Structure 1
Amino acid sequence: MREYVHYQPVSEVPGLVLSTARFAEFSFDRHFHLDFHVGLVSEGVQRQGSHGRTVLLGPGRIALMPPGEIHDGMAEDGGEYTLKTFRLSQELVASLTEEISGRPRPPELSSAVLDDPLLAGRLMRLHDTLHDDGCAGSLDAQTQWLTLLESLLRQSRAIVPERVPGALSPGQWSRVRDYCFSRLADKITLDELAGLCGLGRFQFLKQFKLTIGMTPYAWLLRLRLERACELLLQGPQAIATVAQAVGFYDQSHFNRAFRQAYGVAPSRFRA
């Protein structure tokens, strides 16, 4: 088996570096990091030693390693394993925890291994999404990023999320809705929508869902697909043209989303 390690800074999220590695014979000597690590094993098992105890990290488990923690890592029983890691700078973690908790104070981080296959799977998918250049700033990726980090930090008891009272006001909802309708072909970000309401991103996410019952990304995706249906029924035009008109710049992504929503491909919708 060929061992490898790949590191990728995420330009749209300063302070975040992704790593993907495959190990068999290689082992990590005792070491520490200056940043906060979230580790996931997709295949195999890693044996990790810290504070005089040994933990096994395999699929469905999440390893949290704060700055300065002394630890090692190696394949269990001579096997192989695939490791995916989020490396978050202390500045990035501090800004995220303040945004989520509403309190300008450093998080109380400690090492932990969480047994949560559902959260681990969602973090794996987020890792894959952020690996695609230009995707980290999308509404979907921003929503996943904040939602999953909030869940992760809450489960590790590093923070207490801010209580978000109430829903969006009628005026706030109207501004968001009109903005999305008028810019359907454009990239729309969480920062833009939250700014329209004078809210932080985390607070906006919570209040939007309380108001509509869907995340901003899910609502906008449905809006784009509904508008695509209207365009498809107006007469013959290329599927790619329709996809771009409603904000999809990847026709295969448009086809998958359309089929999932309506049960047929766009080409058959107007047949």
Structure 2
Amino acid sequence: MAAGMRQGGEEARLLVRPEAPGVELLRASFRTQRFDRHFHEEYALGVVERGALRFRYLGRTMTAAAGQVNLVVPGEPHDGHAALPEGWTYRMFYLAPQVVDAACAELAPRRAAPHFAAGVLDDPTLAARVRQAHLLWELPGASSLARQTALLGAVTWWIARHAERPAVLPRLGNERGAAARTRALLQERYAEDLSLDVLAGHAGLSPYHLVRVFKACYGLAPHAYLVQVRLARARTLLTGPDRLADIAAAVGFADQSHFTRLFKRRHGLTPGACRNFLQNRETGKG
């Protein structure tokens, strides 16, 4: 579900996904917008893409420039306006406290809700993680697994490195059996939109720990592994007569354009070009 506005050279788009309660997204470009002093009931976490945002927060005036992360915690009043004549463009997540608490529990099960003393963070890795997660949540064809994994990775990085009481990631143990069960499930049910919670329940691990264990064992996060399985199955189907749109749906991609984009990134050819190659090879015409 999305809502947007465009007026006087400014634009904003708000997005929520019914299957992910507690997560809202905002992508906006502002020049003259001035936010009155207000507070959120959620955590706000975002990245400035262009220009700069200035706001009064925690008794100080702060400026978030392009490439920096800006944030506020629930209940803390703040305002906001452009710090440069060209305004600012940013991507924001608004995360219900239970979403952040769940990520915090991955790091320390009995830890109190995290608090952050800074409103601006100069952390290129976190900025890149937040931006990538936001792009995935916007992308219509992205899987639930990819979205959840990216957001959880960004939030746990944020907590572990910037909360007032930094947390230590739990050590990886010998959980190869859990990783193997997850891989088998991905290979068996690759056409489904499996969530990270489903995989974690099957593996008997917490979501974030499963991602770390799986990547340590197989070199890819579960969502990236799932994409490779789908592409491999699709390549096999390209030798047959099915339409490309039907192949995309059969292996679990949301639409043909998403399938085509990922296939080309993996193979360097579009599915149509690969089909011609494979079928010509079988008939001896290549």
TM-score by length of 1: 0.87
SS of the equivalent of 1:44 reads strand
Deviations 1:164-194 (A, max 9, x none): 3324333x34432332222222222211211
Return the match for 2:97 from 90, 106, 113: 90
Q: Is the 8 A contact 2:176 2:213 kept in 1?
A: no
Within the alignment, does 1:253 sit opposite 2:262 as a pair? no
Report the counterpart of residue 180 of structure 1 in structure 2. 186
1:103-114 to 2 correspondences below 5 Å: 103-114=110-121
- Stretches of structure 1 lacking an aligned partner (at least 5 in a row): none
How far apart, in 2, do the equivalents of 1:264 and 1:20 lie? 32
Report the counterpart of residue 128 of structure 1 in structure 2. 135
Q: Is the 8 A contact 1:164 1:206 kept in 2?
A: no
How far apart, in 1, do the equivalents of 2:202 and 2:49 lie? 39
Q: Residue 267 of structure 2 aligns to which amino acid in structure 1?
A: Y
When residues 8 and 240 of structure 1 are mapped into structure 2, their CA distance, relative to the original with a 3 A threshold, is closer
Report the counterpart of residue 206 of structure 1 in structure 2. 212
Report the counterpart of residue 46 of structure 1 in structure 2. 53
How far apart, in 2, do the equivalents of 1:236 and 1:134 lie? 24
How far apart, in 2, do the equivalents of 1:256 and 1:67 lie? 39
Q: Is the 8 A contact 1:150 1:161 kept in 2?
A: no
State the 1:207 CA deviation. Answer: 1.1
State, as a whole percentage, how many aligned pairs show the same letter. Answer: 35
How far apart, in 1, do the equivalents of 2:274 and 2:213 lie? 35
How far apart, in 2, do the equivalents of 1:257 and 1:169 lie? 28
TM-score by length of 2: 0.83
How far apart, in 2, do the equivalents of 1:180 and 1:30 lie? 47
Q: Is the 8 A contact 1:60 1:117 kept in 2?
A: yes
When residues 31 and 249 of structure 1 are mapped into structure 2, their CA distance, relative to the original with a 3 A threshold, is closer
Q: Residue 132 of structure 2 aligns to which amino acid in structure 1?
A: R
Q: Is the 8 A contact 1:22 1:82 kept in 2?
A: yes
SS of the equivalent of 1:45 reads strand
State the 1:258 CA deviation. Answer: 1.1
Within the alignment, does 1:3 sit opposite 2:10 as a pair? yes
State which drifts further: 208-217 or 106-115: 106-115
Deviations 1:49-69 (A, max 9, x none): 234432221210001211232
Within the alignment, does 1:189 sit opposite 2:192 as a pair? no
State the 1:118 CA deviation. Answer: 4.1
How far apart, in 1, do the equivalents of 2:254 and 2:77 lie? 45
Within the alignment, does 1:27 sit opposite 2:27 as a pair? no
Report the counterpart of residue 56 of structure 1 in structure 2. 63
Which structure's relative contact order is higher, taking Cα pairs within 8 Å and 6+ residues apart?
A: 1
Aligned length: 268
How far apart, in 1, do the equivalents of 2:244 and 2:12 lie? 39
Report the counterpart of residue 280 of structure 2 in structure 1. none
When residues 9 and 227 of structure 1 are mapped into structure 2, their CA distance, relative to the original with a 3 A threshold, is closer
SS of the equivalent of 1:192 reads helix
Report the counterpart of residue 115 of structure 1 in structure 2. 122
Q: Is the 8 A contact 1:112 1:156 kept in 2?
A: no
Return the match for 2:83 from 52, 76, 79: 76
How far apart, in 1, do the equivalents of 2:64 and 2:230 lie? 40
Q: Residue 192 of structure 2 aligns to which amino acid in structure 1?
A: D
Q: Is the 8 A contact 1:258 1:264 kept in 2?
A: yes
State the 1:104 CA deviation. Answer: 4.5
How far apart, in 1, do the equivalents of 2:169 and 2:109 lie? 6
State the 1:2 CA deviation. Answer: 3.4
